[in-house]
Structure 1
Amino acid sequence: MQQVLAQVSLTFVCPPPIGYALEKKVVKSKAGEKVGLLCCHEIPSSESLHNYRVYWQKNITEVVLAYADGNMISKHKRYENRTEMDTRNLTLWISPVEILDNGSYQCVVQHRRRSQNSVVCDEHVTLFVTADFSKPNITAEVSAHSCESTEMVVSCSSHGGFPKPKISGVLNNMSVVWNTSWVSMSSLSLYNVTGKLWLNVTKDVSFTCSVEYNGFVKSTSLLLKKKDDCVVPTVPPSYNVITASSIIIIIFILAITLAARYLPRHVCSHCCKPQDSVEEGVKECMKPPVSSEVTSETSSV
């Protein structure tokens, strides 16, 4: 067993010869799904796995599994109960896929002829694993308000996804720039992301926040409403207006006072003759008027 593993290590570490181009294939999968990584060779129906050696390795240093003489000779403990290989087309199946499975894989196939092993193929496959982010949550908080506009702090957040995402936003069909922050335990752990934006809203507008990751997009829209409870403040009268109004009121009061005192005396001066005493004047005023007929008769007598 030790001799076989040593040979496996030498097989994977050796670089390809100069001018030998490695065709890299890319496979995308989501965490929790089942994914198959295709090898570069398929065993003919006239032969069996006993005539081959197959090595699946990750990042050149980590042997996922290895077969020789039709039997499994090595398997990494992290892939226990999660991997199997098709014995005909040599596809490596991983289920369920984990975030840590991200990386470059290599399939090396050797054919045993007599006492020698010749390399049939050597191919690299890159696996990208994604985890879906939650639907973005948008909140808007009013920071200032006037009759012309409403200033808002808009936040957009999403969590539980992979890889590191990008937040984008659209306001009135125009993109906006976010102040973005990420939280993750490591480069191969799930991410939480939050973006903040300061907006000056002059009318009701539709706003969209999107979280983009590895070709996938999650979006949420929200209607941002401008506050319409604007009350125009009452402008106090100027000093000149107050002064003029006060003068007019004072003049009006004085006029009424003088009129109240002047009019009774003016009327009494027409109905009463001046007397030596007040009492006689009052009596004189109270005498009934003498008719013209009586006056004529008296003068006649």
Structure 2
Amino acid sequence: ALDKKVVKSKVGEKVSLPCCHEIPISESLHRYRVYWQKNITDVVLAYSEGNMISKHERYQNRTEMDPWNLTLWISPIEIPDNGSYQCVVQRNSVVVCDESVILFVTADFSTPNITAEVSADSCKSTEMVITCSSHGGFPKPKISGTLNNVPVEWNASWVSQSSLSPYNVTGTLVLNVTKDVNITCSVEYSGLAKSSSLLLKKTNDCVVPPVPPPYNVITASIIIVITFILAITLAARYLPRHVCSHCCKRQISAEEGVKDCTKAPMSDKGTAETSSV
């Protein structure tokens, strides 16, 4: 099995890919054939009898090979350089070594930009659509975040022209904010990360209207009011009759008293006349 080594580098840097053979001091490159290939099919460069016989156009002016340890140097690194490389060494038409090395290329993403847009607002909460975006990085990233240090899951989408092109990533999140909270967005790629945070403020602090009384309280109040009205109505009908009846009795008694008073003097007069006789 091929022993695959791993080399990591960032875009713009200079990287060295080690070969599996080193030419002894007693010999020279003239006795060897050396092939550096990418993904087996593309020849990056090739040497035969000490002379370069082939070089891929995409690596023109960006590659060189050490004549002793056969290390391949690439500078500056580009995203399409990402992939598997193979060093094949022959001496007198006999394969001396054939091993692969994997080059992982990374490109830094921009610092995430977080924006918040209010989609609905009420006294109790504010609904916000949170967007986190970053661009220009490689490889394809993951996006994560926290809300007051509690992990949240973003709805992420990626845009790239190809698998060997820079990526743009956007994450969206819908939140109901009931108080001021802090949200953090992180873009992670190849063991690296870029992060930023934003303080979300609840926008509407309106006064909550009073809660109407429960149904049973309303029902009891209505019954009390109806009872009070009925009591007043009955009283209004009963009291005038009672008073008038009482007044009539007093009037009749008064008339009888007058009659009695009138009759009394007449009796006295009759008595006087009798006595005189």
Query: TM-score band, normalised by the shorter chain?
Result: 0.7 to 0.9
Any residues of structure 2 matched to 1:136-175 within 5 Å, and which?
Answer: 136-175=112-151
| Among candidates 70, 84, 87, match of residue 104 of structure 1 | 84
Report the aligned-residue RMSD.
2.1
| Among candidates 174, 188, 195, match of residue 219 of structure 1 | 195
> 1:29 Cα shift?
1.0
Any residues of structure 2 matched to 1:1-301 within 5 Å, and which?
Answer: 21-112=1-92, 117-233=93-209
| Contact 2:129–2:174 (8 Å) recurs in 1 | yes
Q: Partners of 1:61 and 1:143 in 2: how far apart?
A: 53
> 1:60 Cα shift?
0.9
- Give the alignment's TM-score, normalised by structure 1: 0.68
* Secondary structure class of the residue paired with 1:96: coil
AA aligned opposite 2:165: S
Q: Partners of 1:145 and 1:78 in 2: how far apart?
A: 56
Q: Partners of 1:217 and 1:202 in 2: how far apart?
A: 30
AA aligned opposite 1:189: S
> 1:145 Cα shift?
2.3
Q: Partners of 1:163 and 1:173 in 2: how far apart?
A: 27
- Give the alignment's TM-score, normalised by structure 2: 0.73
> 1:84 Cα shift?
0.3
Report how many aligned residue pairs link the two structures: 217
Q: Partners of 1:236 and 1:85 in 2: how far apart?
A: 85
> 1:210 Cα shift?
0.5
AA aligned opposite 1:80: Q
AA aligned opposite 2:88: V
> 1:236 Cα shift?
9.8
Q: Partners of 1:66 and 1:205 in 2: how far apart?
A: 60
> 1:174 Cα shift?
2.0
AA aligned opposite 1:68: S
> 1:56 Cα shift?
0.3
- Percent identical among aligned pairs is 78
The answer for unaligned runs of 5 or more in structure 2 is 226-277
* Secondary structure class of the residue paired with 1:218: strand
1:83-134 Cα offsets, whole Å, 9 max, x none, are 000111111011111111111100011123xxxx222111101111111110
